Amino acid sequence: MPLSSAYAEPERKKPRLVILDRDGVINEERGDFIRTADQWRPLPGSLEAIARLSRAGIPVAVATNQSGVGRGLMSAGELAAVHDRLLQAVSEAGGELAGVFFCPHAPSDHCRCRKPLPGLLLQIEAALGLAVAGQYMVGDSLRDLQAASAAGALPALVRTGFGRATEQRLAAQSDVRIFDDLSVFAGWLLETG
């Protein structure tokens, strides 16, 4: 084997999965729980970004903490109605979601799926049969990035939602990639991936 091959750039593999946080990444972060489909408002360009990933053949899954259920502030049915709206909106934009995975628990439940723990990402891995290691998880909060790292995924931060505040909390030497929004992330991933 020629010596130079040992120093060659590692071949970048095509992305096989993208995991997205919901609030502040796909839709507006209200700073409160979204209880009805009417309260669910997509961020500019987010649905088109998902559609671009879908057209490129990359499965997109959502991983979201929804403790409003566990806190008794909304019902599982109300959350399901919000997710129906999300799925419909993505579909209308020409995209597809491989699944919407949520943690319904309150912090006091001490579950394994509430981010920053990696349980939700591991659920995605098991349900879709796709490894999350080495794949991007996009979020606007520190706990999204921590869940990504804990599962071996690659953390990406968007500056929408809580993203700008989260950026201020990142260490200078952080390995987190930062994008203005989901649209910029998708463009970058499709160009470099």
* Residue tagged active-site, from 23, 140, 144, 181: 23
Alpha-carbon dihedral 152, 192, 128, 137, rounded to 10 degrees: 50
Told to check if 147 binds Zn ion by CB under 5 A, we report no
Residue 83 touches which of Mg ion, Zn ion, none (Cβ within 5-8 Å per kind): none
Told to check if 125 binds Mg ion by CB under 5 A, we report no
Instruction: For residues 161 and 112, give the distance between their C-alpha atoms in angstroms, rounded to a whole number.
Output: 24
C-alpha dist (Å) from residue 108 to 67, 104, 111, 114: 10, 12, 8, 11
**Range 97-116, binding Zn ion (CB under 5 A):** 103, 105, 111, 113-114
Q: Are 61 and 128 in contact (CB under 8 A)?
A: yes
# residues contacting Zn ion (CB under 5 A): 5
C-alpha dist (Å) from residue 76 to 71, 80, 138: 11, 6, 25
Neighbour-count burial for 71-80, b at 16+ CB within 10 Å, e otherwise = eeebeeebbe
Told to check if 181 binds Mg ion by CB under 5 A, we report no
Instruction: Give min distance, CB of 3 to Mg ion, in A.
Output: 47
Residue 111 touches which of Mg ion, Zn ion, none (Cβ within 5-8 Å per kind): Zn ion
Q: Known catalytic residue: 140?
A: no
Q: Give the per-residue contact string, 112-141, with Zn ion (x = CB under 5 A; - = no).
A: -xx---------------------------
With CB under 5 A as the contact rule, which of the stretches 31-39, 98-106, 132-140, 181-189 interacts with Mg ion? Answer: 132-140
Q: Which residues bind Mg ion (CB under 5 A)?
A: 21, 23-24, 140-141
Catalytic residues: 21, 23
